[in-house]
Structure 1
Amino acid sequence: MTYQETLDYLYNSLPMYHRVGAAAYKADIQPTLDLMEHLGHPERMFRSIHITGTNGKGSVSHLLASILMQSGLRVGLYTSPHLVDFRERIRINGEMIEQSFVTGFVEAHRDTLDRLKLSFFEMTVGLAFHHFAQQQVDIAVVEVGMGGRLDSTNVILPLLSVITNIGFDHTQFLGDTLGQIAVEKAGIIKPGTPVVVGETHPETEPVFRHIADTHKAPITFADQHYSLKETCGNPSIDVGAPFLAADIYCDGSPRYTGIQSPLAGAYQRKNLLTLAAAIDQLRPQLGNHSVTCQHVLDGIRRVVSDTGLHGRWETIGHHPRIILETAHNADGIRSMLQQLSAMHYRRLHLIYGCVGDKDFRSILSLLPTDAIRYYTQPSVPRRLPVEELTHAAAAAGFPGSLHTDVHEAIEAARAAADPDDLILVTGSIFLVADALATD
């Protein structure tokens, strides 16, 4: 098989949730357990950190991986979905998995993959864990695909479990109350394994405490102990690029000072508190290996170059500035608007598109009413057709122009914008992926 034939097999043999939605969802972890047995249980051959949450889990995963890399460990990183290249999902010390390994895995195990009728995500998890075991990583940072309890990644026994936050997303699968969603996310809590929860909420805190207590798992709520204070800093990351300079305190005492983060979105402040708590809980699990404060600072500063993280309040153009942001649910949009409120610009050109299973009507009402709106669609089958989006927006009192793809929308916004305007592309990770692939 060629590499492209291998990708076609992975994408087409059974549906891929991130592309087609509900038709690809499987609420059953047994096929993944069967695959692990066939592969000789690679998930038992490396240490791991398991990360879930409604928002922020991708950023926290990349930040943790970068810090552990800076400490000298050989670090596997499994995330989803990818933006441009399938191999972004599986990295070791920032390097994407080789095409030949992907092809070789499918060729060697195709009979079993077919027999077990595995989904795209199940096959990809098997590929990642097999790769990490074969390459003898010291530790792997594993991001949950969706939920936690029934996610295919939930076959590992991690050193640490991390739950960034809980919000409303994928409610058709995870439940329509925060408590129900918390139960699904808390499914990654393992007996005796420390768990860090990023944000305290009155509906979810009792759920997490009860499940952690049941499993005798020590639990830390990051925002109950850690706080952040922004500083002037020294923008040594990239001249002209936005960055976040801050100090983190634990129970009122300085913990990590001199942070310079290229992830400048307002919501990244919460992610940094979750990250700090996770590092502090992880240290005792690493034995003699030391993760110093300098490793933490270096890992945060180098996260983009170390791990290839993109699409989080990322500037891709100037005069006018063009920013890409993967916010895709109401909580994410609200956090994005906090960051937007701190920006200085003359007019806002807002490019929005989403997938069909999002509550886009609620999100439309959250977006700035004074923005010039450009409606478009991501290039995945799961997309909300731009005609439907534009019609619904106009009916709700939020008219905008219609564009068949994000590249067309960006060009239209550029043509209409002045140099001191701001163009913001948001609503879907797939829309950001399209922008990165075509811009």
Structure 2
Amino acid sequence: MNRLVIAAPHSGSGKTTVAALLCLALRARGLRVQPFKLGPDYLDPTHLTRAAAQATRNLDSFLLGPARTRDLFARAAAGADLSILEGVMGLYDGRDPTSDEHSTAELAALLGAPVVLVIDAGGMARTVAAVAAGLRDFRPDLRVAGVILNRVGGPGHAALCEAALEGVGLPVLGFVARTEALALPSRHLGLLSAELTAWDEAAVLAAAGHLRLDALLAAAQAPALPQPAAPGVNGPRVRLAYAHDEAFHFYYPDALDELRLAGADLVPFSPLRDAGLPPGVSGLLLGGGYPEVHAAALSANRSMRGAVRAFAASGRPVLGECGGLMYLGETLEDEAGTQFEMCGVVPYHTRMTPGLTLGYREATALAPSVLAPAGTVLRGHEFHHSVLTHAPTQPAYRWTGGDGQPVTEGYAAGNVLASYLHLHLAAEPALARRLVAACR
């Protein structure tokens, strides 16, 4: 379970780029690299997945809790030669400015993982050492193994920074030169997914050539963690359909694994292109994604919308998250004001807005659902640019908003649960077991 946390002073330092380069370079050596992304991000992981040729796992101490975070890491890391964990924001940035709670630093300490600092060295030399030493000394119990210099002007610039870092006792573990070929474009929910980003292969390999892989592998040595026991399946397996195409693809791999462990055989389908749902399925999962980008095509696929509507009417479990909520609603209005008919399962209308709603939520279930009994407290994450055009009539959850006022949200009625809330179904195995039991 050798592992490295890739951290930085702030967002935009190049963590994703460097982590992907490391995955690619180590895989080229014949090593099996397991990537992880800290936090609830769905897009950055696609770049690490492409580079490592292994599904990236999300680790989030708020959504999962410390013990479950450690267990899921151990389960995924056990078969790898090395794990690369990309941090979130700055090293010490978490839920509030007064503690390390839910920060990269907290997770590195929880997993006993060495930290490699990625520092954007543009316009700096000696100051790089001050920044790196400050991050190291702020929390002495963290093991900061060294620095990777990003966006340097060339070998000469890297040598100046290295000389400065030697003065504070921090080794340089490689550098990445400033080049447009490695730029990762962004969109309104963060980086574009890897499927929409083209890297020049020659430029990527050249950039990776300045990483000191032997030193990084030596720095990554860390003690193993105990393996969690896998639960047994109680009851027959069921077929669970889940939407997976350009419009819907926000899923945590560990959450899908948890459904499989609970007894579900997952069957992908495309709301964009398929005429109907897969045969013989007993449940329906619609994750997040970009239904607003594909609203016209989703609306035009009337046979699929009808199939979803009929499936929900049959009483079988239907779970929609964020984009899934929008698709299950009556209409979706884009930023130009054009309305598109959706499935009509949930009696809500959604409208795209320039504003962004985001943040962790601690929600209380207001009604029993396919996931949890009423009164259950669940932790989730919101990240969306759409709003409901009216107050929920059969809300799923209540939580306290940033202004201290209560918020009711989502839809829970019988076999249908739909919400903006992104839950991590691996946080508590009982969630997946309840959904699979409802399918049975």
Task: With the length of structure 1 as denominator, give the TM-score of the two structures.
Answer: 0.34
Larger radius of gyration: 2
Structure with a larger share of its residues in strand:
2
Task: With the length of structure 2 as denominator, give the TM-score of the two structures.
Answer: 0.34
Structure with a larger share of its residues in helix:
1
